[in-house]
Amino acid sequence: MSGNGDKRIISRELIWECALLILILGLGIILFQHAKIFFSGVLGALTLYILLRKPAFKLTEKTGKPVLSASLITVAVVLFIIVPLSLLVWFIIAKLQQVNWNTDDIIAPAMQVIEIVREKFKIDLISEKSISFVAGKLTAFGQSIIGGIGDFFINILAAVIVLFFLLTGGKKMENYLSSLIPMKKINKQETIDKINVMVKSNAIGIPLIALIQGIIAWIGYMFFGVPNAFLSAFLTGLCSIVPIVGTMIVWVPISIYFAVLGMWGKAIGLLLFGAIFISQSDNLFRFILQKKLADTHPLITIFGVVVGLQLFGFIGIIFGPLLVSLFLLFLDMFRKEYLADDEN
């Protein structure tokens, strides 16, 4: 009888455990669905927290007041990060609004190049329909950037508020979250270290490299008289997140455009400038940052950025590679924990 009673108790506890887990997951999905508009802001706050947690802890030790320390750091973030970033976004949006997003005007230079190639070399490069499709996508992309300005400032406000409470919670919050991770202590520490290194590497490295390459490209485009030099430089900076090919996506077609029009000086000059200064600046600064931060495999960055942009929006360039890295880390943990004996 006692055995049956124990089984009933275990069965009842298992049912309640499963029911509670289902309830937690269900409520989590509902909350996630209705709070997606703030998701980028929350991820941004987590990024800033990981970057600033050590200075926050040191300041708290000196002052003895977590709220005061969190307030000082949050104000500093607003003054030195949020305000400059908002001004930069406002400047970019203002420049994009000045661009004529008329599809006919966008495809006109491309059609001119195609006509010249057709006349000189009797080769049909691409149909007008295909170019119109690509131009339409570019138009939609530019308009979506302009239209997303409201969401950007909503997420900025959310990031500031969440960051303040993360800094206030500090180590207590970290210990609580660590207790929820179903891993051994050594695996928990490895996971936390991986998250810290990857977030710091991506949050600092990717935007910094994009900014540097965008500025260098803008100087070169202005010198060689590239049409819409600022927009081309902006796209060059964005393309810097793509390893291997990277900024060549922008400056190689522009050089070909100059060559087809017979502007051989500009074509060769821009090719040399792109290969020597734009591309090599990427290699140089990426090498320096990898020495300081994380040496991430290019394939992890490629797949991570693609997945991250679809899941999280622009901030996915930081958290996408992190997801891929964590997946590989957990896979390796599983292999060491459960499959290591099979190898012997």
Q: Say what percent of the chain tops pLDDT 70.
A: 72
Distance CA 118, CA 114 (A): 6
- pLDDT band at residue 284 under the 50/70/90 scheme: confident
CB 156, CB 86: distance < 8 Å: yes
Structure confidence at residue 127 (pLDDT): 55
Structure confidence at residue 220 (pLDDT): 92
16 C-beta neighbours (distance < 10 Å), count:
10
Residue 186 pLDDT greater than 80, yes or no: no
Supply the mean pLDDT for the chain: 76
CA-only gyration radius of the chain, Å = 26
- pLDDT band at residue 344 under the 50/70/90 scheme: very low
What type of residue is 237?
Answer: G
**99, two tokens:** 């661009």
Helices (H) and strands (E) in the chain, counts: 15, 0
Higher pLDDT residue, 100 or 16? 16
Residue 217 pLDDT greater than 80, yes or no: yes
Top-ranked range on mean pLDDT: pick from 46-55, 98-107, 252-261: 46-55
The dihedrals phi and psi of 99, each to the nearest 5 degrees, come to -75, 135
* Burial of 320 from C-beta contacts in 10 A (0-12 / 13-18 / 19+): buried
Structure confidence at residue 15 (pLDDT): 80
Structure confidence at residue 164 (pLDDT): 92
What does 184-225 look like in DSSP terms, one character per residue? Answer: -HHHHHHHHHHHHHHHHHHHHHHHHHHHHHHHHHHHHHHHHT
Q: In terms of C-beta distances under 8 Å and separation of at least 24 residues, what long-range contacts does 51-56 make, across chains too?
A: 51/199, 51/200, 51/203, 51/204, 52/77, 52/167, 53/167, 53/170, 56/167, 56/170
- Across 212-219, average pLDDT: 91
Higher pLDDT residue, 322 or 139? 322
What does 141-163 look like in DSSP terms, one character per residue? Answer: HHHHHHHTHHHHHHHHHHHHHHH
Displacement of CA 301 from its chain's centroid (Å): 10
Distance CA 246, CA 334 (A): 34
Residues ≥6 apart with Cβ < 8 Å to 314 = 40
**31, two tokens:** 């909350």
Among the residue ranges 67-76, 162-171, 305-314, the one predicted with the least confidence is: 305-314
Distance CA 24, CA 22 (A): 5
Structure confidence at residue 29 (pLDDT): 86
Residues ≥6 apart with Cβ < 8 Å to 86 = 153, 156
Among the residue ranges 226-230, 238-242, 295-299, 306-310, the one predicted with the least confidence is: 295-299
Question: Nearest Cα to 257, choosing from 111, 155, 49?
Answer: 111
CB 234, CB 217: distance < 8 Å: no
Top-ranked range on mean pLDDT: pick from 54-58, 112-116, 128-132: 54-58
pLDDT in tens, 330-340: 787 777 767 75
Structure confidence at residue 74 (pLDDT): 92
Structure confidence at residue 156 (pLDDT): 84
Distance CA 113, CA 212 (A): 30
- pLDDT band at residue 311 under the 50/70/90 scheme: confident
Top-ranked range on mean pLDDT: pick from 65-69, 238-242, 280-284: 65-69
Among the residue ranges 61-65, 131-135, 171-175, the one predicted with the least confidence is: 131-135
Higher pLDDT residue, 312 or 247? 247
CB 212, CB 281: distance < 8 Å: yes
Residue 202 pLDDT greater than 80, yes or no: no
At how many degrees (to 10) do helices 149-180 and 128-147 cross? 70
Structure confidence at residue 314 (pLDDT): 67
What torsion do the CA atoms of 198, 204, 205, 206 make, to the nearest 10 degrees?
90
Residue 289 pLDDT greater than 80, yes or no: no
Higher pLDDT residue, 164 or 3? 164
pLDDT in tens, 49-94: 888 888 888 988 888 888 898 999 999 999 988 888 778 777 776 7
CB 151, CB 315: distance < 8 Å: no
- Across 179-201, average pLDDT: 76
